[in-house]
Amino acid sequence: MQIRSLLGVGLMLAHVWALAQTVAAPSPLSLDEARAQRVRGKALKGEAETRYEADKAACQAKVIAINCLSSAKERHFAAVREANALEQAGRKAEREIHRLDVEAKAAKRAAEAPGLEAKQKADVERYREKEAQRAVERERSQAEESKKLETRRSKAVAERAAQQNKLAARSQEDAKRAEKAPANASKKAERERQHAERVKKIDERARQYADLLKRREAEEAAKQAAAAAAAAR
């Protein structure tokens, strides 16, 4: 039993030594592989603890357990060392990958820095040129707007002055008409009176003419009657 335990321990130690040699030799791992290796090492430690507890319980159940616990401890130690080596190798690989990634990014930034700086300067210069153009456009637009505003203001002032002049002229005309209103009314009344007199005279002449026609007709009728009477004798 003891010999078998020693042989098992020796085989496990040989396996751990070979694994340590494999881990010590750097091998290219991806970040996912390094993480998986670290997680596997942690899981193996948990499995070693579980196995050790089971081995202790088995040893305590035996009537004769010579070297049983020591063998279990050696197996536990070897398994934990193997798991630690695997986990540490995974952590180391992760750190190396992160370091290389950081260095690569830093080198890329350093390599791109001159171009990026030149691009930033060009962008700033273009921005300044565009802002200067916008400022010129704003000044030109403001000048045009001020000119239009001044033109509208001058036009409004001229229109207002013209309207005031028209109102003043109309007021003067109204005042003159009001001043002449009595004389105009008198002249109008005189014209109406004269017109009425002319109409009256025309009517009088028409009446006299009608009377004259009637008299002549009466006289003619009398003459014809007298002539008829004389002829009848």
Specify the pTM.
Answer: 0.36
Q: pLDDT per residue over 169-185, tens digit each? A: 888 888 888 887 888 78
Give percent of the chain above pLDDT 90: 5
Neighbours of 167 (CB within 10 A): 10
How many structural domains does the chain have? 1
Q: Give the CA dihedral 59, 6, 46, 84, nearest 10 degrees.
A: 150
* Residue 12 resides in a domain: yes
The answer for residues whose C-beta is within 8 angstroms of residue 55's C-beta and 6 or more apart is: 68, 71, 72, 75, 76
Residue 8 pLDDT greater than 50, yes or no: no
pLDDT in the model for residue 60: 81
CA distance 216 to 69: 185
Q: Is residue 86 part of a domain?
A: yes
Q: What value does the mean pLDDT take over residues 5-17?
A: 43
Type of residue at 140: R
Question: Which is more confidently placed, 47 or 233?
Answer: 47
What confidence score (pLDDT) does residue 64 get? 63
Task: Look at residue 88 and tell me if it is in a domain.
Answer: yes
pLDDT value at 90 more than 70 = yes
Give the distance, in angstroms, between the CA of residue 94 and the centroid of all CA atoms in the same chain. 46
Contact 59, 68 (CB under 8 A): yes
pLDDT at 4: 42
Is 42 among the domain residues?
yes
The C-alpha atoms of residue 104 and residue 101 are separated, in whole angstroms, by 5
Q: What is the DSSP string of 144-212?
A: HHHHHHHHHHHHHHHHHHHHHHHHHHHHHHHHHHHHHHHHHHHHHHHHHHHHHHHHHHHHHHHHHHHHH
Q: Return d(Cα 217, Cα 225) in angstroms, integer.
A: 12
Q: Is the predicted pLDDT of residue 11 greater than 70, yes or no? A: no
Question: Would 44 be classed as within a structural domain?
Answer: yes
pLDDT at 65: 63
Q: What is the mean pLDDT of the chain?
A: 80
> What is the pLDDT confidence band of residue 133, given thresholds at 50, 70 and 90?
very high
Domain extent, residue 109, equals: 2-113
64 or 90, higher pLDDT: 90
Higher-pLDDT residue of 62 and 142 is 142
170 found inside a domain: no
Q: How far apart are CA 8 and CA 71, in angstroms?
A: 9
Other residues' Cβ atoms within 10 Å of the Cβ of residue 44: 18
Distance CA 187, CA 195 (A): 12
Identify whether 118 is part of a domain.
no
Assess if residue 197 is contained within a domain.
Answer: no
Give the amino acid at 162: A
Q: Specify burial of residue 157 (Cβ count, 10 A radius: 0-12, 13-18, 19+).
A: exposed
What's the token pair of residue 91?
């952590």
Q: What is the pLDDT of residues 18-69, one digit of tens each?
A: 444 444 444 477 878 878 887 888 888 888 888 888 888 888 887 666 688 7
H/E stretch holding 62 reads: none
- Average pLDDT, integer, range 140-163: 90
Where are the extended beta strands (E) located within 14-67?
A: none
More confident residue, 222 or 25: 222
pLDDT digit string, tens, across residues 183-202 = 878 888 888 888 888 998 89
pLDDT of residue 21: 45
